[in-house]
Chains A and B, each alone.
Chain A
Amino acid sequence: MLNTRMNKTDETLTFYLEGDLDRITSADFEKEIFACLSDVTELVIDLEQLEYISSAGLRSFVKLQKQMDKQGTMRLVHVKPGVFEIFDLGGFTDYLTIEAD
């Protein structure tokens, strides 16, 4: 299960994720967020409520990063240790901008 919530002010989009980001939920997540990115220059994704992430979720962030590299910045904030560990394992901590709690 994954619940999403977003908050858009000017060109800053804050996206809240709650639950699990796996190969099933990540597809929906990608569709949803890419639809809102047209004029966004600062993307903040709040992972405070994210409990689980799999490689599919990681891939979604890689895709997002690549898109944002073209139009602005992306930050992952409030990343929990358990989730951070997965980012770390995959070596994503250098590639993505991750702000752990």
Chain B
Amino acid sequence: MKKKESKKKYPFLLKSCGVIFLIFLAVSIISSVYTRREYLEIHIDEVEKNTEMLNHYAAERLTSYRSLPVLIDAWERDLEVYSSAFMAQLQSSAWVNQLDLPEVTAERVAAMKNSDQRAFGYVCYTRIAYGFDLMYNSFRPTALYCVKMVGGSPAYLFWSDNNSENNYMIPTVPHEIGWDDRPALNEIYASASPDCVMIKGESSVTGEDQMLVYTPIVENGTVLCVIVCAKDWVEVENDISHSAFKIAVVNVLLLFLLTLIVVAFVYRYEREKLRIAAEQQKTQAEMAIAAKIQSDQMPDPAREFSAQKGIDISGFIKPARDIGGDFFDCFMIDDSHTAIVIADVSDKGIPAALFMMLTKTLIKSELMQGSSPAEALNRINRQVSEQNAQGMFVTIWLAVVNLLTGACSVVNAGHENPFVKPAGGAWNELRYHHALAVGITPKTVYTDHKYTLNPGDSIFVYTDGVTDAVNSQHRRYGCERLKAALNGCAVSGAESLVRLVREDVSAFFAGEEQFDDITMLCVRFLGFSSITVAAQNGSMNAVNAFVLSKAETFGASKQALKEIRLSVEEIFGNIVDYAYGEGSGTVAVEVMPDERTKVFSVVFRDSGAPFDPTARESPDLTQQNVGGLGIYLAKKMMDELEYEYKDGHNVLTMRKKLCSDASFKEEPKCLTQE
């Protein structure tokens, strides 16, 4: 199973091994054949030259003797008597050794005594024969000899070959080299030319090709003798083949070794590639998990903060890589306080992500324990700065909002300026003094800035990935464009706003690779939109205060406020008086201002006995307890009064349109610093 797997893993490797080896083998065979032929040619050439050279040396050896013609005659005559007995007899002829033998002239030899002449001839012969032997051993031809034609038959003066035990011995019959020299010698004698003659042919003895080089020694137009050098081709070819074979073997071995090395490298490369791929896959899988963990850490404001909680939050985060250093967070600290955080760690990727998780956890932990934003950052900064060898830091914008009052405490630790929009107003950058980012120095002191948010006020915070986004024309997105984008949004909902800004940013740097993490967070403060109170007169003031503050924020004029107050009192009073009889119960009062139609609606829900107060006729004023008077007044004050019984509840909705009121056009109260 494992083998199969590995085969599957290395299909390319196996194929490549085979192919590489076959290629190398073919190259090696071709090269060895080529090498052999090349070598043969070179070697033959070399052998011819060597053979000629050997002939030349041998000839020189002979011709250096000035008395050569006399000597040849003497040798021819005395060849048969150069026996061991004769040599012993000549031991005493010490005088010969004192002569400079080559310089002895023919005349001087002729003047010698007959016995001296013979001794001289013999000594010269032995010297020359010795020289021939040396030359033979140096050049290793098949045979090296000197021959003279005597009466149409060759007489061999010297002979050196591999078989001759004693090169001094002058055989009367030539050694078998499988060659009849007579035709060639006859021709040389006839022409009496000093030029070399080369003959190639087949030896009758060995059956192999042979080469013979004849060098005539000519004096005064007479051929004295001929030096012959024979070279057997089989030897030459064997030499060559042997060398070529050795070279081929070495080549094949080298190539095989090379193949092995290449295969080893390919194998290692493939294995490394697989390992890296596996590692990459693993890393990618881990990164995907890390990214999931990180994205799971981002709150889902839509789920956690419905309008019921009095605040509308929407966030968006898109890391440049799988994971990033940006984050936002929003959570309820208690029933009435919400924390809102946006932060940007000074790096990207894993280091930033780790730092981000640390910061995020610390912030939440501190705030949940009741710290104010400044207290939280002071503690976190000390903690982070002291253990921060990497010199990382994080810019943080942190706010805690009281949803009942709109009071909020904000700290800006080196983060981008937020954009704020008062209800009904325009978006503007809020500039004020920032403290240093968290993690730079433990000495930084953070202080809370106090603001009051009015219902309808919005805040937009973001990281520099938004404003620093660069498009293909190398232009930054920038704060101005962001401001324009915000003001261009015809919606006030946080989610739609974030989506529109996101689309604008994407459109701006379309196609360009995202360089930095992009994070944005929009918060719209609504205040609580509903309260639930006991159905008793004592709750009246709370209900009034709640509804009127909403109406005021929504832009109701003093007159409208009075009318709303009267209607609320009448309707609420009606519920107190009739809904639960002698028992007790609750009333939920919900305010629903509609920005688009400018209709201000208040919905009263009670779970008392079904009763439709709007169905009553106009009151009869003559009665002591004028019934239905309150509802009658409310009807007059409001544009609409609608009753329905739904899901076990009396639901009474009063609506008033506010846009016709001139005073509504007054600039609403802005987000102001206290």
Contact = CB atoms under 8 A, between A and B. Distances in A.
A58 B537 contact: no
Interface in B474-517: none
A90 B569 contact: no
Nearest to A53: B566
A59 B626 contact: yes
A95 B621 contact: yes
B540 interface: yes
Interface of A: 22-24, 52, 54-56, 58-59, 62-63, 66, 82, 86, 89-92, 95
A86 B566 contact: yes
B565 A52 contact: yes
Interface string B598-638: 00000000000000000000010100111001101100100
B566 A59 contact: no
Contacts of B559: 82
B573 interface: yes
A54 B562 contact: no
Contacts of B626: 55, 58-59, 62
Given A54-B573, A90-B629, 8 more contacts: A22-B540, A23-B573, A54-B570, A55-B629, A59-B629, A62-B626, A63-B624, A90-B621
Contacts of A24: 537, 540-541
A56 B570 CA distance: 8
Given A22-B569, A92-B621, A54 B540 contact: no
A91 B621 contact: yes
Contacts of A86: 566, 633
Interface in B520-571: 537, 540-541, 559, 562, 565-566, 569-570
A89 B621 contact: no
A65 B438 CA distance: 73
A89 B559 CA distance: 15
Nearest to A66: B624
B573 A56 contact: yes
B630 A54 contact: yes
Contacts of B570: 54-55
B636 A89 contact: yes
Contacts of B566: 52, 54, 86
Given A23-B537, A89-B636, A92-B621, A58 B569 contact: no
Given A22-B569, A52-B566, A54-B630, A62 B624 contact: yes
A57 to B, nearest CB: 10
Nearest to A91: B621
A90 B637 CA distance: 12
**B540, B541, B633: which has the most chain A beta carbons within 10 Å?**
B633
A64 to B, nearest CB: 11
Contacts of B537: 23-24
A93 B241 CA distance: 143
Task: Rank and list the top 9 A-B pairs by shortest CB-CB distance, nearest first.
Answer: A55-B630, A55-B629, A54-B569, A23-B573, A89-B636, A55-B633, A54-B566, A55-B570, A22-B569
Interface residues of B, number: 20
A56 B565 CA distance: 13
A27 to B, nearest CB: 9
A20 B562 CA distance: 11
B633 A89 contact: yes
A95 B621 CA distance: 8
Contacts of B632: 55, 89-90
**B540, B541, B621: which has the most chain A beta carbons within 10 Å?**
B621
A56 B636 CA distance: 16
Nearest to B636: A89
Contact of A90 (B565, B625, B633): B633
Contacts of B541: 24
Nearest to B565: A52
B629 A52 contact: no
17 contacts: A22-B569, A23-B537, A23-B540, A24-B537, A24-B540, A24-B541, A54-B630, A55-B630, A55-B633, A56-B630, A59-B629, A62-B621, A63-B624, A86-B566, A90-B621, A90-B629, A92-B621
Nearest to A82: B562
Contact of A58 (B562, B573, B629, B636): B629
A82 B630 CA distance: 16
A63 B624 CA distance: 6
B633 A52 contact: no
Nearest to A62: B626
A57 B305 CA distance: 41
A61 to B, nearest CB: 11
B225 to A, nearest CB: 161
Contact of A52 (B540, B562, B624, B625): B562
A59 B562 CA distance: 19
B296 to A, nearest CB: 52
Interface in B162-176: none
Given A54-B566, A54-B633, A58-B629, A90 B619 contact: yes
Given A24-B537, A24-B540, A52-B565, A59 B633 contact: no
Contacts of B625: 59
B51 to A, nearest CB: 144
B570 to A, nearest CB: 6
Contacts of A56: 569, 573, 630
**B559, B569, B619, B624: which has the most chain A beta carbons within 10 Å?**
B569
A61 B565 CA distance: 20
Contact of B569 (A23, A62, A89, A95): A23
A85 to B, nearest CB: 9
Contacts of A63: 624
Contacts of A89: 632-633, 636
B535 to A, nearest CB: 13
B38 to A, nearest CB: 124
Contacts of B573: 23, 54-56
Contacts of A55: 570, 573, 626, 629-630, 632-633
Contacts of B562: 52, 82
B185 to A, nearest CB: 160
Nearest to B618: A91
**A23, A58, A86: which has the most chain B beta carbons within 10 Å?**
A23
Interface in B386-411: none
A58 B621 CA distance: 10
A82 B559 CA distance: 8
**A54, A62, A66, A86: which has the most chain B beta carbons within 10 Å?**
A54
B561 to A, nearest CB: 10
Nearest to A94: B621
B430 to A, nearest CB: 38
Nearest to A55: B630
B459 to A, nearest CB: 36
A54 B563 CA distance: 10
Contacts of A22: 540, 569
B309 to A, nearest CB: 30
Nearest to B637: A89
Contacts of B540: 22-24
